[in-house]
Amino acid sequence: MFLSISQALTFMMSGVPMFGTDACGFSHNTDYDLCSRWMELSAFFPFYRNHNVKATISQEAFRWSSVAEASRRAIAIRYSLLTDMYTLFYYAHTQGSTVMRALAWEFPKDPTLAGTYNQFMLGSSLLITPVLFPNTFTAHGVFPGIGEGTNWYDWYTLQPVSAQPHENVTLDAPLEHINVHVRGGSVLTLQAPGNTTATTKASPYSLLVALDEQDQATGSLYLDDGESLVPNATKLIQVSTFHSVPTPLCCLRPILNREPIQLRQRLPYDFHQRNLSRGAPARERDDRGRQRLALGHGSDDARPAVRIRRRGVELQ
């Protein structure tokens, strides 16, 4: 597990973005502590599976209550981010960018990040700080860009991070918890996590908006049918704030509660749609007869989580 981050980053540099390790280990017996931490960590890898050789003990997540709970929490975050990860793969396919990234790749002007082995970024927006040592309930990590215009927010509490430049911060990390932070200036497209990718895909969309020090944020969303090798219609949506809002962060859900927060707040977003398929209309019908809306799937009488308005977006 300790070496899986550096191994993954090596594959990213080699142009192989769909990479993951055998969570909980492959050739040796695992235990609840190792399996809990590994299931949390691997949930943020592109390829995610628990797999081992027959000669070892069974290591399904349900074998230990702590592993089951750690897995549920991490998978809930992963599934809520599936659309965002899919967008990262779109850019990896079309532009050769990476899905997982070393901190030094995103902040190349900071030489102190060159040897960072215990953290990584998922895309340019999420900072993952796992526990890599046994029987430990804290994690240690840096927050790059602090003091140079970058701010960070805790994924779970939505609170801004208070840290000094280059400070090695000690973070609480109970056994069922992995530290995730959102980079200021990011807009993430989320969906309520279901028990399968299909049910997750059918759930409403929501936005997580983390403003930078200039009260700005940008993001993008790539959409297609999610199944066809050559989809007949695709859409790329660019999202950006166009003036400041009074609060630094808005989000529609606490993932651990598995229920979206119902908000009715007008936020100043600017949506730019780009249809990538020639001649494809802005609203199309998929093979199940449902309308594919600009920000999600739903029937004609089902309101999407984000409704486009002339001067902004109303979140519900």
The domain spans of the chain are 4-183, 186-315
Contacts of 148 (CB under 8 A, 6+ apart): 165
* pLDDT score at 11: 85
* pLDDT score at 242: 63
* pLDDT score at 252: 36
Fold of 4-183: Immunoglobulin-like (2.60.40)
Which one-letter DSSP state was computed for residue 28?
A: S
Amino acid at 159: Q
Predicted TM-score (pTM) of this structure:
0.77
* pLDDT score at 19: 85
* pLDDT score at 287: 34
Give the separation between CA 120 and CA 116, rounded to whole angstroms.
8
Give the separation between CA 129 and CA 118, rounded to whole angstroms.
7
Report, at the CATH architecture level, how domain 186-315 is classified.
Sandwich (2.60)
Tokens 């805790």 belong to residue: 154
Amino acid at 224: D
Taking 50 as the pLDDT cut, the residues of the chain under it are: 244-316
Same fold, 4-183 and 186-315: yes
Query: Shortest CA distance to 287 belongs to which of 211, 242, 231?
Result: 231
* pLDDT score at 143: 96
Q: Are 120 and 41 in contact (CB under 8 A)?
A: no
* pLDDT score at 21: 85
